[in-house]
Structure formats: structure tokens, C-alpha cells
Amino acid sequence: MRIHAIELHRIGMPLVRPFETSFGVQTSREVLLVHVRTDVGDGWGECVAGVDPFYSSEYVSAVEDVIRSYLAPALLAGQRGGAADVAPLLRFVVGHRMAKAALEAAILDAQLRADGVSFGSHFGATRDRVDCGVSVGISPDIPTLLDEVRTYVDQGYKRVKLKIKPGWDLEPVAAVRDLLGAGGLLQVDANTAYTLDDVSHLRELDAFDLLLIEQPFVEEDIGAHAVLARAIETPVCLDESIVSTSVAVDAIEQGATSIVNIKAGRVGGYLEAVRMHGACLTRSIPVWCGGMLETGIGRAANVALAALPGFTLPGDTSASDRYFAEDLTDPFVLEDGTLTVPTGPGTGVTVRTELVRHWALREPLVLSAG
């Protein structure tokens, strides 16, 4: 494959409601899309980086810059193989996994469209539908939270994840456990808001029969999570810390994570995510597919990934309308708490380019050889 051009589209999409986490409030989703033009056809990839470096050190402007200055020139000069060659070609740049993942996804989309193969078949999907959970932001108060959770339960979501932080943890969790009843699947995500000083407080969450607690401590403190895991009953699940398969294996071996949240953007691409899934499956570690407020482009790829056999817990693969009144693709619609895995070539979705233009925050940046 030869890449003729890489176009970067920076767009802003309104969210249906503000989404608050321990690191801040989002009222719209500013997102970078990668459109590649190759000799075998076009492909689209979505970058999961946020507009600010609050979830991860990567953020949209940094992604644009590293692609323009380093990653795109390397691909435009050297790319003759396919998507599997992208990560090795880009290894000379340290980190910037979300930027690399978006490029690899776009190239994989172009390649698989040309070959007539879907993301799901290419990854080794074994299901045609995936169970969906929903991530619920921090609310102004408990009644507002319960109203929101009730709408998701009514829509059929199979699992609820509550965002927590110090001062917003035991009470909302108790209230939602009450609402869901004993059998309802419930988990929490702290996005690094706690420290080892909070171990005895976090142990109180054991009363609520949670599936897991996600990323209570900062990403570098994998050892601290192992300490917590030994001190509480609730399984500990790492998100931000897990940036590669080797880090995942180390964290599992240390006892820091007994369940893994897999996000392709965070680990440098879908191909690395598939490898991580394999490493976890071999070790009998359940995995689930995380979410980053993706548009239909990233959502399609996530749903394909979540159809692999080791994804045994419902993911943050929510329907389009959880975040957007209108999506960049045909919307993903919940049916019996599941989404259908696309079967068309590549991501299997068609990008509504008029909406890409409508939500554009500036002219696309066009990078080409020479």
C-alpha cells in the first residue's frame, strides 16, 4: 500500500449532556479524525485524545503536531506494507500512542475495505453482538444521578459504571445499588482520584458487591494498586496504567489488576489491543472494552474488538445517543442491551462527510509526500 495523503479533521460535536469525571467536565467532544488516501482506497480513523491533557498526557493539539511533524512524514516516506507495518515504522517516536493508533486505524480501514474484510473478522471476533454497559458521570446530586441511571436501565444497558472521586463515592454507589437491586451489574471508575491513604475508605465499597474498581491511583503507581488489591474484596481493574501488553502482563503478575480495561487508543492501536486480549485470555484475566466518547467511527471499531472471546464483561460501548444527538455515521442503536458488530468491509460504517464539514473547527490539515 502507498499512502498519498493524510488529512487531519479537527471537529467539535455537542454532547447530549455534560460528562463529569474526577478530572473535569466535558460539554462537547473535540475530536481529531484521520482520513488517509492510499493507492487501494480511503480509510478513516478516530483519535481518542481529549482536548486537554487530563485523562492522559496526549491531547488534540499535541496529536496534530506529532502527526504533522513526525508520524505522517515517516508513513508518507516509508509505507509500502499494510497496517501491521505502521507500529514498527512509528516506533522511533516515544509514546504518543493515541496519535499512532488513529493513523493505524485509518490505514487498517483502507486496507480491509480494499480486501473486503471487516474489522471484526480481521481481529478474530466470535460474536455478532456485544453486551453494552454505560458510563455515568458525576452528578450535581443523588436524585439527578438516579434519574440518569434510571433512563439507562430503561434503555436496557446491562451494566452501570459510576464515576467516583473523594466526596462522591459511598453515597452515590449505595443509592445506585439500591436502585439496581442485588443482581444489577455495577462498577466504579475513579480516574486516579485516590491515594494509598484512602485504602480503608475504599474498603467500604466492598459492601456494594461491585464488579470492579477502575484506576483508583495515578497511572505510574502500579505497585500501589497491588497493595490495594490485597486489602479489599472488590476486584481492581487498571485503565490509564495499561499502555502496552507488556505493562498489562507485569501488572497482572504483580497482582495489581485482575481484570483489564482495553482501549485501543491508549495502547497504540487495535492490533496491540488484540495482542493484549490474547495475553489476558491466556492468563484467564477477563477484559472489557473501554470507551472514550467515540463517534461512530471509533465506536464501530470498538464494537468489533469487543466481539473477541475474552471480552466477557459488558464494555463502555454505549449507543451513539448516550453521547450524541447526531453521529458521524449511522447511529449505533441499543437492542436488548447489545450493539451489532458491523460486518461490512473495514469499520463497516460510512462517514457522513457533510457532518465532518459542519462540525469542522478549522480547515483540514492535508499532509502529503514531497
* Greatest extent of the chain over all pairs of C-alpha atoms, in Å: 62
By CB under 6 A, tell whether 288 contacts ligand NPQ: no
Q: Report how far residue 17's alpha carbon sits from residue 318's, in angstroms, rounded to the nearest whole number.
A: 14
Q: Is 241 in the site for ligand NPQ (CB under 6 A)?
A: no
**What interhelical angle do 270-282 and 296-305 show, nearest 10?**
30
Which of Mg ion, ligand NPQ, none has residue 296 at its interface (CB below 5 to 8 Å by kind)? none
135: how many CB neighbours lie within 10 A of its CB? 24
Q: Read off the C-alpha cell for 133.
A: 454497559
**Locus of grid cell 486489602:** 231
Among 189, 219, 272, 294, the residue binding Mg ion under the rule CB under 5 A is 189
Please provide the DSSP assignment of 242-287 as one string. --SHHHHHHHHHHTS-SEEEE-HHHHTSHHHHHHHHHHHHHTT--E
Which grid cell is 294? 467515540
From candidates 239, 272, 294, 327, binder to ligand NPQ by CB under 6 A: 239
Asked whether position 135 contacts ligand NPQ by CB under 6 A, the answer is yes
Select the span of 112-120, 267-275, 284-292, 346-354 touching ligand NPQ (CB under 6 A): 284-292
The interface mask with ligand NPQ, positions 48-87, x = CB under 6 A, is: --x----x--------------------------------
How many residues lie near ligand NPQ (CB under 6 A)? 14
Report yes or no: 341 and 130 within 8 Å, Cβ to Cβ: yes
Residue 104 near ligand NPQ by CB under 6 A: no
Which partner in ligand NPQ, Mg ion, none is near 272 (CB below 5 to 8 A by kind)? none
Cross-strand partners of 44: 35
Q: Which of 291, 310, 337, 342 binds ligand NPQ (CB under 6 A)?
A: 291
State the first-to-last Cα distance of the chain, in angstroms, to the nearest integer: 17
Q: Which is nearer to ligand NPQ, 139 or 191 (CB)?
A: 191
Active-site residue set: 163, 263
The partner residues of 229 in beta bridges, in order of sequence, read: none
239 in contact with Mg ion (CB under 5 A): yes
104 binds Mg ion (CB under 5 A): no
Site residues for Mg ion per CB under 5 A: 189, 214, 239
Site residues for ligand NPQ per CB under 6 A: 19, 21, 26, 50, 55, 135, 189, 191, 239, 290-293, 316
